[in-house]
Structure 1
Amino acid sequence: MIIRDGNLDDVPAVLGMFDSAVAWLTAQGRTGQWGSEPFSASTARVERVTSWASSGGMRIAEIDGEPAGCVVLGPAMDYVTPASEPELYVQGLVIDQRFHGRGVGSALLERARAEAVELGVPLLRVDCYAGDDGRLVKYYESQGFTRTEPFKVNEWPGQLLEMRLPTGPA
């Protein structure tokens, strides 16, 4: 697996990753996170992915030359409480379900952690869907994040999580 910087050429592949994740969740009856309609069918979601691709914070994991996952790093989302210290924020994380179970999400989150450490910021944060059985929150906890505060966007239940990072010389 390699992880490289993403760009506008990656927008179709990332939309495909989101579409595969939505189809996988829908097949399990889990439509609360992203609904049941493909990301690629939503103008707002296409614009969001395009914006991420232009931001400089998109990273693409590839397995055997195929895009397998994407993480987007940058400032905190406007719907969460701002951090009181410098941070790096995971704005998005998605895996193409063809590569499910191959450690793609873990590798991308490790890349986010490494970039935060390299930048000298003491905090890496992420938010996620907190509905259904809480499986996504538990996933982030298994990756070293700690729950901080729940929130809602309209009726969508979310959970903010953080990871404290070492700073200063090693």
Structure 2
Amino acid sequence: MKAQLEELIGKISSGCMLPEEIARIADEAAQAYADPQAFLAANADINYDDSFPIPLGEWVVVGSLPETVLFQADSYDALFQQIVDSFGPDVSFVLKPKQLAKTEPLKALNRIQVQLGSLSPETQGYVLLDFSEPLDDALQAVLVYSSDLPRVMELAVEIGIYAAPAYESLKAGQAEE
């Protein structure tokens, strides 16, 4: 499982994390998945209990990702602002976070996805991916290269971490209503 975790974290970090950091998180998460009680006993400072809606290993992954990789917010404009900030001042975005403030969720997500799809042409752009179970915020997502999406989805299923392309997921959810 450690190799799968390492590959998944590597792909969702899109070059934002060092290989040593990825390996450390994958190792800790694999230990937490394998033997949660032993992991908690060895790491007494961890604030986790059985009331959390995700397994300890998944919690280790989510809690260890830097804010340049895992985006958490209560609104799409705030989420997009974090994404813009993660790219730094050298990448210019046509879409501005404030343009999303009064936009309904599906339109906001579509605009975000169109903007992200135009970045990094060599990887066919980015896909905004809902990732894991949000604990403190309404929205929780990562970016993956479009070219990596099929493998990321396979790994998420194999490991048991929820992941879904945000726009398609919301669109499908609204179609069911």
TM-score by length of 1: 0.27
More helix by share: 2
